[in-house]
Amino acid sequence: MSDLDKKIVLVTGGSTGIGRATAHILAREGAVVIIADLQDAEGAKTVDDIRAAGGTAEYHHVDVAEYDQVTALVADVAARHGGLDGAFNNAGIEGPTAKIQAVSLDDWQRVIRVNLTGVFVCLKAEIEQMVKQSRGGSIVSTASVAGLIGLPGAASYNAAKHGVVGLTKTVALEYASRNIRVNAVCPGFIETPMLNRVTDASAKIREQLIGQVPLKRVAQPSEIGEMVCFLLSEKSSYVTGQALAVDGGWIAQ
């Protein structure tokens, strides 16, 4: 039996893409999956599919950047399920593709609000609950290869994802003594609705991206999900404060 069996795990941005695939994998391992997202119909579909496969999941309409909404969700989940064991802070949005001169303050604030403040808010609420429980925990946030290297044309997204990596290291150090592990996963190019939006679903742009990747393909969302599942499980019990690239070898070049 998996050590994630019956564990209560929050997944933000679980309605589609990487979050949805990870929710399926966690449910396969026996976790009780709590999905928080803004896309209600897609969230309901994720839950229905998990239940149809014999898993346990529920959906909540929550904006990850709203502190009151996130703390209310964590309190409600802890009260009904007896605590919170793990979390995948994954909700995110793409930014504009433009050099900094063409990035408006509104664009900057929109991206920072979800991709950085959202992770801060979730970490804060989750840690608060885990400290109260005194039984440790594991948290993974989605950064990106854009959190590890510079990417021209993605200033706000790049800054937010570097921020997620910094938050991960610091919060991991702050709570290691409580046995709360905090890591980040840094995906490369993953087959999700976001990738289609960023590439305008253009075959030519896709081929250019694939050309940069040593493994010569984009990844399926489940390939991130398996890494996240590992980091949330006891199999990674000595791993904390890390930002792990899952990128087909891209940034090793």
**Applying CB under 6 A, which residues contact ligand NAD?**
12-13, 15-19, 36-39, 63-65, 90-93, 114, 118, 142, 144, 187, 189-190, 192-195
Is 87 within 8 Å of 136 (Cβ atoms)?
no
Is 50 within 8 Å of 24 (Cβ atoms)?
yes
Query: H-helix or E-strand containing 121?
Result: helix 118-133
Specify the residue, 179 or 220, whose C-beta has the smaller distance to ligand NAD. Answer: 220
| Distance of closest approach, residue 245 Cβ to ligand NAD, in angstroms | 10
Specify the residue, 133 or 230, whose C-beta has the smaller distance to ligand NAD. Answer: 230
CB burial readout 54-72, b (16+ within 10 A) else e: ebbbbbbebbbbeeebbbe
| Distance of closest approach, residue 178 Cβ to ligand NAD, in angstroms | 26
For residue 13, CA distances in Å to 102, 122, 178, 201, 209 come to 28, 12, 27, 21, 24
Name the active-site residue from 67, 157, 175, 238: 157
Asked about 157 being catalytic, the answer comes back as: yes
Specify the residue, 17 or 137, whose C-beta has the smaller distance to ligand NAD. Answer: 17
What are the catalytic residues?
157
